[in-house]
Amino acid sequence: MKKIHIISSSIVLVVIALFIYLFMPQSPVTNKKTKSFALPSPEDIIKDEETGLLVVKDVIMITFAGGTEQSAIDDIIKGINGKIIGYDKEHNLYQVKIGGANLKDTQSKTLELMTKYRQIEVAMIQTVSAAKNPGWQNRGSNSTATEQFSSMAEPE
């Protein structure tokens, strides 16, 4: 008798768990393809002599305004001989490779994008490094932020 009671209790618990699982509201399945970026190849990474940053010579990062149709994005990118190699669709950010471009070509395309298309909020060359002291004049490679702040407090 006790065995039957334990078995029936177990069956009831399984049925309740199954009912809860089937009829409980589920969170929507997220699309895993909303973000994907390409890594640069080492031969495409160069030093921009003007800024001192390491950049990808033929890749532009473009942020489009919200509501820009995918067909318009594709047309703009096609118009600069570009190919989408990465994206974050939640933020309308696209990583675009310009076939056969050098750094000057990429800089030119970036300027063209920013001045020609109202759908583009930001276009910039992809950097792969940060400046040691961005916004500061170089006072030597070992200059610290403290030295730079003190030089501002005590102008020459």
In tens digits, what is the pLDDT along the chain, a chain of 156 residues?
666 767 777 776 666 776 676 676 665 545 557 888 998 888 999 998 888 889 999 999 999 999 999 999 999 999 999 999 999 989 999 999 998 999 999 999 999 999 999 999 999 999 986 656 655 555 554 444 444 444 444 444
Our count of domains for the chain comes to: 1
What's 102's domain CATH number? 3.30.70.80
Q: Establish if 153 belongs to a structural domain.
A: no
Question: Where would I find the beta strands (DSSP E) of 78-155?
Answer: 82-88, 93-98, 120-127
Q: What is the pLDDT of residue 136?
A: 55
Q: Establish if 51 belongs to a structural domain.
A: yes
Residue with tokens 């393809």: 33
Question: Model-level pTM greater than 0.75?
Answer: no
Per DSSP, 122 falls in state E
> Which residues fall within 8 angstroms of residue 81, CB to CB, at 6 or more apart?
98, 99, 101
Q: What is the pLDDT of residue 156?
A: 44
Q: Establish if 23 belongs to a structural domain.
A: no
Q: Establish if 109 belongs to a structural domain.
A: yes
Q: Establish if 57 belongs to a structural domain.
A: yes
Q: Establish if 22 belongs to a structural domain.
A: no
Q: What is the pLDDT of residue 134?
A: 58
Q: What is the pLDDT of residue 138?
A: 53
Domain holding 65, by residue range, is: 33-127
Torsion of CA 71, 73, 76, 80, to 10 degrees: -120
Q: Establish if 136 belongs to a structural domain.
A: no
H helices of 24-121, in order, are 70-79, 103-116
Q: Which of 63, 21, 59, 27 is nearest to 40 (CA)?
A: 59
Q: Establish if 26 belongs to a structural domain.
A: no
Q: What is the pLDDT of residue 5?
A: 66
